[in-house]
Amino acid sequence: MISKLELQNWINEYLQGTEYELITLNVSAGNDILIEVDRLAGVDVDFCAELNRFLVDKLGDEDYSLEVGSVSLTDPFKTKMQYEKNLGHDVEVLVEGKKLRGQLVSVDEDTFSVDIEEKVAVEGKKRKETQIVTHTWRYSEPKYVKYDLKF
């Protein structure tokens, strides 16, 4: 079986000095390898092909399947860089069993903030009014955060 740690070391070696980050590395019992990378400026298909060739050379005669690509637009964010990449975009947040949608407005070391349109009670008014409310969470609090595809 192919060592996940060895693969991770090779990938990190290749990514060193680039703007790319390793997002996903999965190795199944049958040596099916899935690698997903990302960067702020988006992923170049030629870069993925070069990383693939680099790993094929390292793996030699092992019996495996190898897939190198970018993260899907609908996958949950896994790194701070992915939050930074989506700053200003609409996101979906699943927290405490509720799906919330809004605009990702800030990202820092420990937290991120999303502006969400909500109906809120206003003193002196009978009806609730729609207002933008900023919610801030630690990265570990929501079950997931992902780009919101509006169809």
Q: What is the average pLDDT across 64-75? A: 94
How much is the pLDDT for 105? 98
Mean pLDDT of the chain, nearest integer: 94
**How would residue 151 be classed by pLDDT, with cut points 50, 70 and 90?**
low
Stretch 10-35: mean pLDDT? 96
Asked whether the predicted pLDDT for residue 138 surpasses 80, the reply is: yes
User: Residue 62's pLDDT is what?
Assistant: 86
| Integer CA distances (angstroms), 97 to 100, 141, 144, in order | 10, 11, 11
- Give the pLDDT score at 150: 80
Over range 70-75, report the average pLDDT.
92
In three-state form (DSSP H/G/I as H, E/B as E, the rest C), the secondary structure along 11-41 is: HHHHHCCCCCEEEEEEECCCCEEEEEEECCC
Mean pLDDT of 132-149: 96
Q: Are 10 and 54 in contact (CB under 8 A)?
A: yes
| pTM of the predicted model as reported, rounded to 2 decimal places | 0.87
- Percent share of the chain, pLDDT over 70: 99
Q: Which amino acid is at 48?
A: C
pLDDT above 90 for 56: yes
Q: pLDDT for 106-126, tens place per residue?
A: 999 999 999 999 988 888 888
Give the chain's domains with CATH numbers: 4-70 (3.30.300), 80-147 (2.30.30.100)
Overall residue count recorded for the chain in this entry: 151
Can you tell me the distance from the alpha carbon of 66 to that of 50, in angstroms, rounded to the nearest whole number? 13
